[in-house]
Structure 1
Amino acid sequence: MKVIDFKWPNGFKSGAVHAGFKAGDQLDLSWLVSDTISAAAGVYTKNQFQAAPVQVTKHTINLVHQLKAIIINSGNANSFTGDQGITNAHREAELVGKKLNVDPKLIGVASTGIIGKQLDMTTFTDGLDQLTLSDSIDAPEAIITTDTTSKKVCVETQIDGHPVTVTGFAKGSGMIHPNMGTTLGFIATDAAVDKDTLQQLLSAKIVNSFNQITVDGCMSTNDMVLTMANGAAGNQTITASHPEYAQFVDAFTYVLTSLAKMVAKDGEGSSKFVEVDVHHAANQADANHVARAIVGSNLIKAMLFGEDANWGRVVQALGQTDAQINLTGLAISIAGVQIIKNSQLQPVNMDALRKLLGQDHILIEVDLGSGDFSGVAWGCDLTYKYVEINAAYEE
């Protein structure tokens, strides 16, 4: 597997325009279209108030696990919009299906933006009329909201002697706390993949990628991660028994994990990217839970922003979980400095540690001393800028 410049896999095209959902001339409507009907899979927010696009797209994919295209708008979430919102989401699929001359049940719909406002269908229709299909790679820019940058990654591997491309893009900066894979994420591949295998793979790999990021502990109503595989690479259909299944899994996992880390790094107002590695947990659930509990602690996030070496906050966050901890064998390191070993405070030059906390990438390591499992989570610090952004989000 190798990381390559961003491009669409064979048999995919895209387009992006400014429809008018966002002010100015920002791109706010895009689509990703396969030349042929693709195997499709999805995972969705578990927020009880799933937005209309989530409900409609989940139902669409669950019917046959196939898609021809995905249409995405930013600037309006079409969330908490009742029956009219559902009608509008279906209408989006109908209009895209008509333009592409395919069944609307093969169209995925995604939205992001302000909650509680009906989607202006005139704006949507006018934007759709402008959309064209090309090798344009503007789609990642068209889906961002408070993001400071687009998130995109592309890798290539070999399956059955054929080059296979896996391309992913995502958005996410605030309202990030997963129970599925928080944010919008889209992955396209020209590999031929069995549709049930694709769903199983996405559902499994989301657990240690998107589900291990947190920015602010807030789960969005609109989150989904969708995958399309159109088979244009010409390989034999991938199932779990395919001799090169592991190679595809590696490429797919790399894309998911890379996108998840990009979202965490671009947390609203953040100045530091934070990684928490947990070692020797009793089970995988404990490892993941502890890692996310630490990276998601507002006290720790504020501590890191202030470059304050108050390591007791890590102990607090850790002890608040119900994970199995060897209470006499705990180890904690921050920014490469071991602070706790065998549950005992070690001699630490606190001034030197504070200087290390000035870095823009902070690693916290915890050894639970309870088993053989490891977990990792990613997040960011909590800054004044985060409050500023979210105190005036609608302005």
Structure 2
Amino acid sequence: MTYDSSALPFPQGFRSAALAAGIKPSGKTDLACVVSERACAWAFAGTRSSTAAACVTRNRQVYAGGQPVRALLVNAGNANAATGSQGARDNTDIADSLGGILNIRPHEVLTASTGIIGHLLPMDRVLGGLEHLPGELGSEAAPFASAIMTTDTRPKTASAKLSNGAVIVGTAKGSGMIHPDMATMFAFAFSDAAVDQDALRAAFPGIVSRTFNAVTVDGDTSTNDMALILANGAAGQVEMAEFLSVLESVMRGLARQIAADGEGATKLLTVRVSGAGTEAEALSAARTCCVSPLLKSAVHGNDPNWGRVIMAVGRSGAAVNIEAMTVSVQGVPVFAGRPLAYDAGAVSAAMKAEEVVFEVNLGVGQARGEAWGCDLSAEYVVINAEYTT
């Protein structure tokens, strides 16, 4: 698995462009696209928020049509959410415009917007920027990964190679307003492998559940989050089981990067649950721990307060046999149906690492699940108190 975006090319047959269209007040790049030379098999997951943005609604409609796609257009700095019928028309117009510029059909263009909710897109700037995108097309992933960021502190990429030489390259953005139910982020994966679209779509929800829906930063779910995989087949057929396994590993890598870059985060929080009755219950217990502000605060303060794990698991809805339940912090057992003696100072020192791991066995079954979050710092409040001002 590769995570360095500085010299990461897109798979063969894909090209990308990014530029500053003036959507972000900072003047940073904020308009980007990825274009495939060939039609792509694809799978999609979008937020289940009842206030979903125009881009999610349109992509969902295109997805239902079942036809291949060729391009993805992303703008950052403006969510185009809660913008009514005008926002929906603007979203359609930018897809139509890029389709015309690239000489492809409008329904072959997917859209994604991220940023502040409740503002119409500055269409003059967006449409002006679209005209220049084809001249910026290149093979590197780094410009695209940077252009889609909002409050992220760093780009997020991951890649892996398949046995037939095909590759999967993933990019993501996400830092705040992140919680399971499609997490709150963008995650886009691209591959030159040839795969069956029906099989890909059947497997994709499970992959999303175990990766991006296992990420939480602050308990808030966005209007715009989505995950996509586009595969253009340029490198030839690959065994489907291998492809899905590698895709999940790439998306897991992206999910962990999102959690580690949570707004104000100083460390990654990982909760591994075993001994659950079902995978769904294991994931629920792990996610509830990761979103608990009490546990997140304890992690920030290097406090091995395992009682907050017991509390979070207990309200998660997962079945628990507390007499058989175990908890460990950074590999140190602290609870096994009863409190255990341990060196609190040593465990606190171990929690000063970049990643803090809690392992919990619920004592009722064989199912497992893992979730990722981050600590809760004062900087999180500062970032969100000043977000629009």
> Which residue of structure 1 lines up, in the alignment, with residue 370 of structure 2?
376
Taking a change above 3 Å as real, the CA distance of residues 202 and 268 of structure 1, as seen in their structure-2 partners, is: same
The correspondence for 2:192, drawn from 170, 175, 190, is 190
Deviations 1:146-196 (A, max 9, x none): 0000101111112xxx31111110100000002134311111111111111
Counterpart Cα distance in 2 of 1:226 and 1:345: 45
The correspondence for 2:148, drawn from 129, 143, 166, is 143
Which blocks of at least 5 consecutive residues in structure 2 are unaligned?
none
> Which residue of structure 2 lines up, in the alignment, with residue 59 of structure 1?
61
> Which residue of structure 2 lines up, in the alignment, with residue 303 of structure 1?
298
Deviations 1:334-369 (A, max 9, x none): 11211101x111111112222122222100010111
> Which residue of structure 1 lines up, in the alignment, with residue 357 of structure 2?
363
> Which residue of structure 2 lines up, in the alignment, with residue 246 of structure 1?
241
Counterpart Cα distance in 2 of 1:233 and 1:354: 49
Deviations 1:233-274 (A, max 9, x none): 122xx6xxxxx3222122111111111111001000000101
Counterpart Cα distance in 1 of 2:350 and 2:271: 16
Counterpart Cα distance in 1 of 2:67 and 2:372: 30
Deviations 1:299-319 (A, max 9, x none): 000111112222211111111
What amino acid is aligned across from residue 315 of structure 2 in structure 1?
Q
**Percent identity over paired residues:** 38
> Which residue of structure 2 lines up, in the alignment, with residue 172 of structure 1?
174
Counterpart Cα distance in 1 of 2:358 and 2:183: 23
Counterpart Cα distance in 2 of 1:3 and 1:31: 21
> Which residue of structure 2 lines up, in the alignment, with residue 223 of structure 1?
225
Aligned residues: 384
Counterpart Cα distance in 2 of 1:113 and 1:329: 46
The correspondence for 1:118, drawn from 117, 120, 139, is 120
Counterpart Cα distance in 2 of 1:17 and 1:169: 17
What amino acid is aligned across from residue 109 of structure 2 in structure 1?
I
Counterpart Cα distance in 2 of 1:358 and 1:136: 36
Taking a change above 3 Å as real, the CA distance of residues 117 and 2 of structure 1, as seen in their structure-2 partners, is: closer
Deviations 1:40-75 (A, max 9, x none): 210000111000111111111221242110000000
Counterpart Cα distance in 2 of 1:76 and 1:374: 38
Give the superposition deviation at 1:6. Answer: 2.1
Counterpart Cα distance in 2 of 1:319 and 1:65: 45
Give the superposition deviation at 1:226. Answer: 1.2
The correspondence for 1:37, drawn from 39, 51, 72, is 39
Which blocks of at least 5 consecutive residues in structure 1 are unaligned?
239-243
What amino acid is aligned across from residue 157 of structure 1 in structure 2?
L
Counterpart Cα distance in 1 of 2:144 and 2:225: 17
Counterpart Cα distance in 2 of 1:36 and 1:249: 21
Counterpart Cα distance in 1 of 2:180 and 2:225: 9
Counterpart Cα distance in 1 of 2:51 and 2:186: 16
Q: Any conservation in 2 of the 1:61–1:67 contact (CA below 8 Å)?
A: no
SS in 1 for 2:116: coil
Counterpart Cα distance in 2 of 1:112 and 1:3: 23
Give the superposition deviation at 1:128. Answer: 0.8
Give the superposition deviation at 1:321. Answer: 2.3
- State the TM-score, normalized to the length of structure 1: 0.95
> Which residue of structure 1 lines up, in the alignment, with residue 104 of structure 2?
102
What amino acid is aligned across from residue 283 of structure 2 in structure 1?
N
What RMSD, in angstroms, separates the aligned Cα atoms of the two structures?
1.4
Counterpart Cα distance in 2 of 1:80 and 1:49: 7
What amino acid is aligned across from residue 78 of structure 1 in structure 2?
N
Q: Any conservation in 2 of the 1:33–1:69 contact (CA below 8 Å)?
A: yes
Counterpart Cα distance in 1 of 2:160 and 2:351: 33
SS in 1 for 2:165: strand
Counterpart Cα distance in 2 of 1:154 and 1:336: 29
What amino acid is aligned across from residue 128 of structure 2 in structure 1?
D
Give the superposition deviation at 1:136. Answer: 3.3
SS in 2 for 1:344: coil
> Which residue of structure 1 lines up, in the alignment, with residue 287 of structure 2?
292
Q: Any conservation in 2 of the 1:41–1:65 contact (CA below 8 Å)?
A: no
| Runs of 4 or more consecutive aligned structure 1 residues displaced over 3 Å after TM superposition | 1-5
Q: Any conservation in 1 of the 2:49–2:222 contact (CA below 8 Å)?
A: yes
SS in 2 for 1:20: coil
- State the TM-score, normalized to the length of structure 2: 0.96
> Which residue of structure 1 lines up, in the alignment, with residue 386 of structure 2?
392
Residue 277 (structure 2) pairs with residue 275 (structure 1): no
What amino acid is aligned across from residue 363 of structure 1 in structure 2?
V
